[in-house]
Structures are given as structure tokens and as C-alpha cells.
Amino acid sequence: MTQDTNETATLELRDISRRFGSRNVVDGLSLRLHAGQVTCLLGPSGCGKSTTLRIAAGVDQQTTGHVLINGELVSGDGQHLPPESRGIGLMFQDFALFPHLTVAKNVGFGIARDPNRDVRVRELLGKVGLEDFGDKFPHQLSGGEQQRVALARALAPRPAVMLMDEPFSGLDNRLRDTVRDATLELLKSEGTAVLMVTHEPEEAMRMADQIALMRDGRIVQSGAPYNIYNSPVDRRAAAFFSDINVINGQVHGALTRTPFGDFLTPGIADGKDVEIVIRPQHLRIDFDRGGRGPNPTVEEGTPARGVVERARFLGHQSLVEFAMDYDNVRLHAVVPGVFLPNAGTPLWLSVRRDRCFVFVQ
């Protein structure tokens, strides 16, 4: 976590489990959210993200554990406040607006008795770039505009916590990036604590201050996107964010042999099998000069020779697949721009040691 854990969290999930039948679909999950911070629950389908969000919202109830908002218990120990009494905003994939109400009335719906309602509605419509849309009806709006109205409506009562489940998945790709950016800007300007569910790593990296990576009902790693991407806890965490290369090896005397020379693998017992994981974009390609490659360096170890098996053009980058000279290892590299060597071309690969992850199997 990036924040001081002594500070009262805006939303705290404390050791939450949710059992369906004999299975814990959420299993001892704890999470703390702070004002102005966007946390993404990220993970594969079925890992328990939506169930966690529903428990935070109060539309589902945990089997064990506690939910606190601003330090106050809202669910647990026999208590269970309904969603409307929790001071939360909700936004789901299906963000249905009221079709018979104008945009302004939709946004003002949750603050009907607020004397400053009209000012607040105007302020929010301005913030989502729809100041002239107040008198329109939902069916006169595009999908992206409707999404922005739904966001304004959810934020109108100034909820301490905003809970969002795949809020952009109904939008087409072209719209999604702009709507995401506008949403993020608005959430930040309102200072709300946000918990957002997504199964898309790129979306989480784009939106989150903190990513909580889930698997089988548990958070396996949480932290800033940069840290999660660059220091994954295991091979599966690394593979969730990009395609990866895996080199299998065995530790002998604190060293593991690889195509790139011996890797220092201290602290791992002799004879242990390890996986060395390299992201394809971290492999550097050099030309073969009469059977020789670049010189070894401390940073990168020994370059490894391989022969191109296949090269594919992917638009803004190319994917080159290699059969390495070493031990039938196959590696693939992603290089920016158009670089499409012919099959059979010998080339040299290097990788910075600090870009490689070593995991005990």
C-alpha cells in the first residue's frame, strides 16, 4: 500500500470472505482505500472481483469479515447497512439512465432535496463537458455522453466512495480512451475514493493509483502500477500484464545457467528449479558480425545467439521468434517499428539483468 496505514481509510475491507456452497469465491481479502485515490481490482474472469465490489456496496453480504467506511462499521458483527445508507456512488456496466427524465433531472435525481441542487447539477454537467445537454433526454445522447451523465449522477451526492464495475466495457474502443480520461479527471477533481473492477491490465494501468491483483478470491499483489508491472510476485502475475518468455533452469552454487550466461540466484537452495521470466519488449537484438555478437557487459551478461524462426508485422511493432543455440530454448522479442528479418537469419539477443524476474518453481 502506498499510504500510511494508520490513517483512517475511506473504505476498508477487513478479512472478507464470501462462500457460495462449499467454495470461498472471496477468501480472506483485505483492502484499504483513501480519498482521491483510484484502486483497481484486476484479475481474470471469475476470480471474485465483482463479488468483492458488491460486498463493499452492500448489495451482497460477506460470510465473514468487516466493511468500514470512514472508520465506521457498515457491515459485520450482525450489522448490515443497505447501499443507500453507506454514502457510496455506484456505477455498473449497465448504467441505465432514467429514460423519461432529462439529463439535468437524471443528474439531480439523488439530491432532489438539496437546496443547491441546480448549482451542483450545472457544475457536474460542466465537468463532464455536457453543459448544454441539460434539457435533452437520454435517447438523444451517444453512448459516451450517456456514460458521462451516469457518472455525474453517481457523483452528485458527493459520495465518499465510488464503486465502479467495468464501467467502460459497453463503450466502443474509439470512445473508451477519451471517456476514461475524462472520468479519471472528474473523479480526481471530486476527491472521491474509487474502487473499480476491471479485467483489462491496460485499463488498470491507465486509471489506477493502486492495483490490487486478484486470483482465486485473494489479492496476490497490490501496489502502484509501475511496481506491479516491474516487480511481479510470480510468473502468473508477470504474465497477466504482457506476453512473457520463460527460461527454465536449476540452481547450482547460487548460479543458474541460461542462454545469457550464469544468473546469480542467491538465497535459493541448490537443486531448486527456477523460472527466469523476460518480457519480449526487454530483449535487445544485435546483428551477427562473422559469428560474433556484442561484447558481454556486467549489466546484460553474455549475449545469446539465435536464429530467426518467424517475424511478424504487428503495426507499430514487430514480433520476432527465435530458436536459440542454447538448449533448444525458444524466445520471442517485440521490437518497435518495422524490423522483419528473414527466417534463418542469425541474430544476437541481450537483456538487462535487472529486467529479468527469477521465480522458484
Ligand X SMILES: Nc1ncnc2c1ncn2[C@@H]1O[C@H](COP(=O)(O)OP(=O)(O)OP(=O)(O)O)[C@@H](O)[C@H]1O
Q: Of the two residues 75 and 106, which places its CB atom closer to ligand X in the complex?
A: 75
Residue closer to ligand X by CB (options 25, 149) is: 25
CB of 242 to ligand X, least distance (A): 19
CB-CB contact of 100 with 94 (8 Å): no
Could you give the count of Cα atoms lying within 13 Å of 105 in the half-sphere of its Cβ? 9
Binding residue (CB under 6 A) for ligand X from 199, 218, 279, 305: 199
| Sequence-ordered list of residues with C-beta below 8 angstroms from that of 137, at least 6 positions apart, any chain | 99, 100, 101, 102, 103
Inter-axis angle of helices 173-190 and 143-155, nearest 10: 20
For the CB of residue 26, give the shortest distance to ligand X in the complex, in Å: 7
Closest separation in Å from C-beta 48 to ligand X: 4
Considering the complex, what minimum distance in angstroms separates the CB of residue 202 from ligand X? 15
Q: 159 to 178, contacts with ligand X by CB under 6 A? A: none
Hey, what long-range contacts does 248-256 have (CB within 8 A, 24 or more apart)? 248/273, 248/274, 248/275, 248/276, 248/361, 249/273, 249/274, 249/275, 249/276, 250/274, 256/358
Determine which residue in the list 20, 98, 287, 313 makes contact with ligand X, applying CB under 6 A: 20
Specify burial of residue 189 (Cβ count, 10 A radius: 0-12, 13-18, 19+).
Answer: exposed
Under a CB-based contact definition with an 8 Å cutoff, are residues 182 and 171 in contact?
no
Binding flag, residue 116, ligand X (CB under 6 A): no
**The C-alpha cell that represents 251 in the structure block:** 540452481
Q: Give min distance, CB of 68 to ligand X, in A.
A: 21
Going residue by residue from 37 to 56, which x/- string records binding to ligand X, judged by CB under 6 A?
------x-xxxxxxx-----
Cell digits of residue 44: 481474470
Q: Nearer Cβ to ligand X, position 107 or 213?
A: 213
Q: Compare residues 25 and 130 and give the one whose CB is closer to ligand X.
A: 25
Residue ranges in 50-109 that form contacts with ligand X under rule CB under 6 A: 50-51
Q: Shortest Cβ distance from residue 329 to ligand X (Å)?
A: 34
How far apart are CB 195 and ligand X at their closest, in Å?
A: 13
CB of 93 to ligand X, least distance (A): 9
Q: State the binding string over 296-315 for ligand X (x if CB under 6 A, else -).
A: --------------------
C-beta separation of 311 from 340 below 8 A:
yes
Task: Report the residue number, 54 or 332, with the smaller CB distance to ligand X.
Answer: 54
Q: Which is nearer to ligand X, 200 or 288 (CB)?
A: 200
CA 77 from chain centre, in angstroms, equals 32
Q: Does 16 bind ligand X (CB under 6 A)?
A: no
The CA distance from 59 to 183, in Å, is: 24
Pairing of strands 161-165, 193-198: parallel
Min dist CB 67 to ligand X, Å, is 16
Binding status of residue 192 toward ligand X by CB under 6 A: no
| Contact of 165 with 197, CB cutoff 8 Å | yes
Instruction: Give the residue with the Cβ less far from ligand X, 19 or 158.
Output: 19
Of the two residues 15 and 72, which places its CB atom closer to ligand X in the complex? 15
Site for ligand X in 320-339 (CB under 6 A): none
Element (DSSP H or E) covering residue 237: helix 235-241
Q: Where are the alpha helices (DSSP H) in 33-112?
A: 49-57, 103-108
Number of residues that bind ligand X (CB under 6 A): 11
- Nearest Cα neighbor of 83 from 198, 165, 167, 162 is 162
Footprint of ligand X (CB under 6 A): 20, 25, 43, 45-51, 199
